[in-house]
Amino acid sequence: MQSINIKTYSDNQYHSADNQRLTNILFFSPNHISTVTFDPIAKQILEMKVFSGIHHNVLQLSYDELKSILPLMEELKVKYKERKVVISDKNCTLVPDALLNVVETESYYQLNHHLLPNSQVLYCKMHVQQTAVLFNVRNELVKLIRFNMPMVDVYHGSLLFIKAVEHQQFSEAANKLHLHIHPGYFELLNIDKQIRFYNTFDFESETEIVYFLLASAEQLQISHACDVVIYGNSPTLPSLQNLLTKYVRSVQFAIKPKNFTYPISFKEFAEYQFFTESAAILCE
């Protein structure tokens, strides 16, 4: 059994007796698991739980190791009107959704990525930019999902991130690079009326982040007037902001998606943290 830290951010209007009319999304990320419960009609997030302190990459755990996370197994027993799963990692490829009808997903995925051992390639759409995503998931995690939630829809976090950024309706969007930091890798997005650039990069230092970001800005021909928006949970993001200000026109931290209601307890963490969880209502 793994010893897990659980942090709950709950609205005083939330009552578990209402779960039969609510939607719940279960997020699997490399260094934590989280769950978000919301009212889709009122567009109100009512509760978020974050399970952390897991000593290995969540997405690489065996089925038995996942089952040993008792708070997760208890959460899987709870019944909601609707439930979805979002997996966030670097192993993904965006494709035009029309192309899914004519390509073999595994072969297409392998044009850019190596397959993980004992894994399968999944795909999803999310009513955003006529884009789908292929993503690679170990069979152990798929087994946990299908044994406990047989009919659940499984999405990839890249599409939710893109949809949430688009939802913000940034001004001068063509000049903005959206930098989403994860443990050991980051997403980089440029979106105007369409997705102009999206990629994931491994990194070990802030200098590498700056290098890849500036190279991408040069490719997009916006290096002369590049604005960066930062997302992520890392405590080192303020120092990254200070470094980036030396090389780009402006750097700002993201804010939570607009037009939704959040628990007051969400003020306990920064606006740019748990961005995809805060956008859970857009997962459709």
For position 197, which CATH number holds?
Answer: 3.30.420.260
Judge whether 220 lies within some domain: yes
- Strands (DSSP E) found in 104-194: 119-125, 131-138, 153-156, 176-182, 185-191
Torsion of CA 195, 213, 186, 135, to 10 degrees: 40
Per the structure, the complete domain to which residue 203 belongs is given by: 169-253
The structural domain count of the chain equals 1
- pLDDT range class, residue 102, cuts 50, 70, 90: low
Measure the CA–CA gap between 222 and 13, rounded to whole angstroms.
46
Name the band, by pLDDT with cuts 50, 70 and 90, for residue 45.
very high
Full-model pTM:
0.96
- Structural domain includes residue 198: yes
Residue range 168-189, pLDDT digits in tens: 999 999 999 999 999 999 999 9
Whether residue 119 has pLDDT greater than 70: yes
Confidence grade of residue 43 (pLDDT, cut at 50, 70, 90):
very high
Report the C-alpha gap between 168 and 272 in whole angstroms. Answer: 13
pLDDT digits (tens, 9 = 90+) for 46-57: 999 999 988 889
Cross-strand partners of 135: 92, 122
Other CB atoms within 10 A of residue 53 CB: 11
Q: What is the pLDDT of residues 208-234, one digit of tens each?
A: 999 999 999 999 999 999 999 999 999
Match 């769950």 to its residue by tokens: 35
Residue 210: inside a domain: yes
Looking at the domain assignment, is residue 203 inside a domain?
A: yes
Per the domain annotation, does 124 fall within a domain? Answer: no
| Angstrom distance (rounded) from CA 196 to CA 178 | 12
